[in-house]
Amino acid sequence: MSLLQTRHLTVERGGAAIVDDINLDIQTGELVMLVGPNGAGKSTLLQRLAGVQPPSRGSIHLQGQATAEWRHQDWAQALAYLPQLSPLNFPLSVREVVQLGALPHSHSVVTLRRQVQEALERWDIHWLADRDVRLLSGGEQQRCQLARSWLQMQAPPSRLWLLDEPLSALDLRHQQQCLQQLRATAGAGKAVLMVAHDLNLARRHADRVLLLCCGRLVADGKPREVLTAAQVAAVFGVQTHLDGDWLHW
């Protein structure tokens, strides 16, 4: 049984399908990257998988159970979703924001304190813990949100981590650390589905790549089979060539 399964998932806006008839299976242990041009429907698809809004048509099952059948609390324990943008306009400290990740779960005070500290250290924001989150740089805010979401994924019922462009604001070292955390999560009997723009990074680090174009899933498979020069030209309109294992343009 797939951890996550969609059948004929469709989202319509003004009569047009912006996510169109998506059939998708995500298995435990996988790190899957969703790629595609701006406006392809990646964020819309991820939002619907996260249950933010129901799709116009089609089904989503998590652990064999249709989304509508889940209780809110159980859903928030099973799945964590990091949107593309999570602006914060409240005077919360970094520690308080990270701690929000524990809300769906019931931790003892001691466990909570230990896990929040671990999240702060893993995401390299321990030294910012008491700062007002609105005063952080873009990359620091991103790590704060990642730490919150990571914390939500730590309790045992959590199975699926959905992240929309988690690497976009991160420098190289923090991208590497983030990928390590995502890989470790997938390796811990869970699954990760993330949006990425760096095709070479997807070729190297994903177990599987989903290529979305104009709302349709045009390819789903091993990174090097999906992200060929021909496919990149067809979907992104950019001529590339392979140099070793590297796509150049």
> At closest approach, how far in Å is the CB of 238 from Mg ion?
19
The answer to the question of residue 15 lying near ligand ADP (CB under 6 A) is no
Q: Which amino acid is at 242?
A: L
Which entry of Mg ion, ligand ADP, none binds 18, CB below 5 to 8 A by partner kind? ligand ADP
Per-residue binder mask for Mg ion (CB under 5 A), 31-50, x = binder: -----------xx-------
> At closest approach, how far in Å is the CB of 16 from ligand ADP?
9
Which entry of Mg ion, ligand ADP, none binds 36, CB below 5 to 8 A by partner kind? ligand ADP
Distances (CA, A) of 20 to 99, 126, 134, 138, 176: 37, 42, 37, 33, 33
Ramachandran region, residue 140 (left: φ > 0; alpha: ψ -120 to 50; beta: rest): alpha
Which residues in 24-53 contact ligand ADP (CB under 6 A)? 36, 38-44
Which residues in 88-147 contact ligand ADP (CB under 6 A)? none
> At closest approach, how far in Å is the CB of 197 from ligand ADP?
10
Nearer to ligand ADP, 38 or 89 (CB): 38
CA pseudo-torsion sign 67, 68, 72, 73: negative
Nearer to Mg ion, 43 or 145 (CB): 43
The CA distance from 146 to 178, in Å, is 8
> At closest approach, how far in Å is the CB of 42 from ligand ADP?
3
> At closest approach, how far in Å is the CB of 215 from ligand ADP?
7
Question: Which position has the token pair 């790549």?
Answer: 209
The answer to whether residues 30 and 36 touch, using CB atoms and an 8 Å cutoff, is no
Ramachandran region, residue 124 (left: φ > 0; alpha: ψ -120 to 50; beta: rest): left
Q: Give Dmax (Cα) for the chain.
A: 55
The stretch among 18-26, 78-86, 111-119, 166-174 that binds Mg ion (CB under 5 A) is 78-86
The CA distance from 248 to 233, in Å, is 12
Nearer to ligand ADP, 103 or 234 (CB): 234
Nearer to ligand ADP, 112 or 201 (CB): 201
Element (H, E) at 26: strand 16-26
| Helices 138-152/109-122 angle, 10° precision | 140
Nearer to ligand ADP, 13 or 114 (CB): 13
Interaction site with ligand ADP (CB under 6 A)? 13, 18, 36, 38-44
